[in-house]
Amino acid sequence: MNFELKSLSLVEAASEKCDALLVLVSDAYKPAKDGFSALVGRAIKDGDALTKAGKILALYMPVQSQATRVVIAGVGDGSAKQVRSGVTAALAGVKSDKLKKLVVAFASPAQEATVRAAVAAVADASYSFISTKSKPEPRTLHHVLLAASNAAELQTPFDRAVAVVAGVELAKEWANRPANHATPTLLAKAAEALVTKHSKISCEVLGPKEVAKLGMGAFMAVAQGSDEPLRFIVLKYNGAAKSVAPTVLVGKGITFDSGGISIKPAAEMDEMKFDMCGAASVLGVFRTLAELRPDINVVGLIPACENLLNGRAVKPGDVVTSMSGQTIEILNTDAEGRLVLCDALTYAERFKPHAVVDIATLTGACVVALGNVRSALFSPDAALAKALSAAGDAAQDLCWQMPLDEEYGEGLKTQFADVANVAGRAGGAVSAAKYLQRFTDKKVPWAHLDIAGTAWKSGAAKGATGRPVGLLVEYLLAQAAQAN
């Protein structure tokens, strides 16, 4: 899909020949004297169109416009959140296989955040997954023109928004794929495909022998129940001098999670193909970095495997040795994400990172706590937590900081190993984070994002959201800006 930004007044936008014109009208809109602006103003004055976010008025071939269809969409106070709501509602009314060119016009001057919100909303509303369909219905929308009277000052945030969309859609693609079309091997190939002549990205893929040599006993324990070989993916984006410490992103890559011996209920188990959304988000971030090429170094680590059950599968009560040397009693084989992540967190230490952020669909407890609005953020480092929260707010990819009190780790104690992989039900998202914290370098800022509630949607709208690509990109670009 091709996005374009043009400096156009509302009447100039209305003269663009297109299949649909979305007019975003805020509470502060004051109509100009031209015929089209007057039409919009009259519709609002008469109450046929409302500026309340999400309210729309659809018109067919009005004489004041070259568009086949015009939708006047309210965006309330004009904030990014309300612009996204207005665009989403408007596109729901014009979505069809005839929609090929779309113009989105800001009736009042746009801001950086609102331009980014509009781009994200159009991409999300028009997205279509087609990889495994015999008769695919691909996205028909090919050209999106954003029109704003002050477009000249918005080119940089616009370019960033388009690059983030590319990353989000790559994350969606791999998260939405069925497990037999997104094995650890195929996921590794997707990572290798990010390496191009001008991308500044390199990729190394480790197999079972290399992982065994590293002593990743926890990761290997999860993988041993599947016939699909594990893959440990190491992506590097080199945008700054080698002396600059990288930020390390660690994405949970369980390409299918049956729960192992502690098997999950059959209902909705198909959604466990989404258990690699953390890994997919890392791929998406690197896709965006390849477009924007910021002056920063980033490492992406993806421990990828299936959690299945066969005669070799790990059993409740088994004790394994992690790469850090700590022994782990596996009381619940369905708490496998933390097992693959802990070895990846130990591996991250070799990069002497500036910060480490892991991203995982880790706990159902997180969904109970926060639903699908905000991802859970855990970090003992106040500055890192603040930076990630601010990035989430700016990207409309929200998170919420959760506690990490030492008392939450008490339930992980066991008589048979250094640590158990689960505690009790109460505070399950926190005890999972406390488990991961044991495997981090205490001298390096670390954060854990539990995206179990935000990485995908269930029900009629089932599918990956691409979160938290936006949050992570925003954080990394802010770090790059601070360094320059």
- What sections of 139-230 are H helices per DSSP? 155-176, 184-192, 208-214, 217-223
Residues 142, 172, single domain; the answer is no
d(CA 133, CA 128): 11
> Is residue 160 in some structural domain?
no
Closest CA to 306 of 203, 192, 178, 167: 178
Using one digit for the tens of pLDDT, what is the confidence trace for 30-75? Answer: 999 999 999 999 999 999 999 999 999 999 999 999 999 999 999 9
CATH code, domain carrying 95 = 3.40.220.10
Q: Which amino acid would we find at residue 8?
A: L
Domain final residue pick, 119, 148, 177: 148
> Is residue 155 in some structural domain?
no
pLDDT at position 96, please? Answer: 75
Average pLDDT over residues 354-360: 98
Cβ atoms of 113 and 61 closer than 8 Å: no
Closest CA to 27 of 89, 96, 74, 88: 74
d(CA 99, CA 4): 16
Residues 141, 72, single domain; the answer is yes
According to DSSP, the residues that pair with 206 across neighbouring strands are 232
Closest CA to 449 of 303, 254, 271, 250: 250
What lies within 8 Å, CB to CB, of 138 at 6+ separation is 128, 130
Query: From its phi and psi, is residue 31 left (phi > 0), alpha (psi between -120 and 50) or beta?
Result: beta
> Is residue 153 in some structural domain?
no
According to DSSP, the residues that pair with 5 across neighbouring strands are 146
**Helix, strand, coil content of the chain in percent (nearest 5):** 40, 20, 40
Residues 268, 410, single domain; the answer is yes
Catalytic residues: 264, 338
The answer, yes or no, to whether the previous bond of 468 is cis (omega within 30 of 0) is yes
| Mean pLDDT value across the chain | 96
Residues 103, 213, single domain; the answer is no
Cβ atoms of 22 and 105 closer than 8 Å: yes
What lies within 8 Å, CB to CB, of 393 at 6+ separation is none
Q: How far apart are the first and last CA of the chain?
A: 32
Q: Residues 61-64: contacts with CB within 8 Å, 24+ apart?
A: 62/36, 64/14, 64/35, 64/36, 64/39
Domain final residue pick, 120, 148, 176: 148
Using one digit for the tens of pLDDT, what is the confidence trace for 171-227? Answer: 999 999 999 999 999 999 999 999 987 889 999 999 999 999 999 999 999 999 999
Q: Which residue has the tokens 């067919």?
A: 60
Closest CA to 287 of 476, 130, 87: 476
3-state DSSP call for residue 437? helix
Using one digit for the tens of pLDDT, what is the confidence trace for 279-299? Answer: 999 999 999 999 999 999 999
Residues 144, 172, single domain; the answer is no
Using one digit for the tens of pLDDT, what is the confidence trace for 361-392? Answer: 999 999 999 999 999 999 999 999 999 999 99
Neighbour-count burial of 387, counting CB atoms closer than 10 A to its CB (0-12 exposed, 13-18 middle, 19+ buried): buried
Tokens of 37: 């602006």
> Is residue 171 in some structural domain?
yes
338-358 burial code (b ≥16 CB/10 A, e <16): bbbbbbbbbbbbebebbbbbb
Domain final residue pick, 117, 148, 179: 148
Residues 114, 180, single domain; the answer is no
pLDDT at position 375, please? Answer: 98
CATH code, domain carrying 208 = 3.40.630.10
pLDDT at position 97, please? Answer: 77
Tell me how crowded residue 45 is: count the other CB atoms within 10 A of its CB: 10
The model's pTM is 0.97
Residues 289, 379, single domain; the answer is yes
Cβ atoms of 360 and 337 closer than 8 Å: yes
> Is residue 231 in some structural domain?
yes
Using one digit for the tens of pLDDT, what is the confidence trace for 255-271? Answer: 999 999 999 999 999 99
> Is residue 225 in some structural domain?
yes
Using one digit for the tens of pLDDT, what is the confidence trace for 231-258? Answer: 999 999 999 999 999 999 999 999 999 9
Dihedral sign for Cα atoms in the order 213, 217, 220, 224: positive
Residues 410, 263, single domain; the answer is yes
Residues 179, 114, single domain; the answer is no
d(CA 339, CA 314): 12
Residues 207, 305, single domain; the answer is yes
Average pLDDT over residues 445-467: 97
> Is residue 208 in some structural domain?
yes
**Domain with 97 in it:** 2-148
3-state DSSP call for residue 123? helix
Q: Which amino acid would we find at residue 113?
A: A
Q: Which residue has the tokens 């994405």?
A: 251
Cβ atoms of 477 and 160 closer than 8 Å: yes
**Which phi and psi (to 5°) does residue 244 adopt?**
-80, 120
Closest CA to 475 of 281, 311, 341: 281
Residues 143, 177, single domain; the answer is no
Residues 140, 169, single domain; the answer is no
d(CA 53, CA 91): 13
Tell me how crowded residue 100 is: count the other CB atoms within 10 A of its CB: 14
Average pLDDT over residues 301-308: 98
pLDDT at position 94, please? Answer: 86
Structural domains of the chain, count: 2
> Is residue 177 in some structural domain?
yes
CA 236 to chain centroid: 19
For helices 277-292 and 469-483, the axis angle rounded to 10 degrees is 40
